[in-house]
Amino acid sequence: MSHRQIQIDLCLRQEEHCMVTPTKTQDNASGLDVIISKIDGLASELKNVNRNVTERIDRLEMDLEKKLSDKLTDKMAQLLDKRINIEVKRLGKTVDERIDTLRADINNDLDSLKGKVNSLTDAIQFF
């Protein structure tokens, strides 16, 4: 409050020797009403601005969380895909090695059988 407003307020309360005329007091009271009204309007506008800023921050946070979540999901998918490809290649090599081993074993068995068949054939022809 300004010095003048305090003086008016004191004069109205005490009703003593006051140099303020009733017209000026009414003007000052209506002036105070205008100021209070403007302050109320400003407070309301500040509340609206605060609400808008809060809503915007909330939207930005949600967008950021979604983008981070999407990036993490993509990165995890890439890592899983890479790991699966490595494991599939490793398993493919293992399977190829086992097939080669089995093929070699079968070829050895076939060679052994050929030798026995040839031996039997020779024995039969000898008789």
| Residue pLDDT, tens place only, 47-65 | 999 999 999 999 999 999 9
| Residue pLDDT, tens place only, 23-39 | 555 667 788 888 999 99
- Model confidence pTM above 0.95: no
Q: Give the DSSP per-residue string, 60-116.
A: HHHHHHHHHHHHHHHHHHHHHHHHHHHHHHHHHHHHHHHHHHHHHHHHHHHHHHHHH
Is residue 19 within 8 Å of residue 6, measured between CB atoms?
no
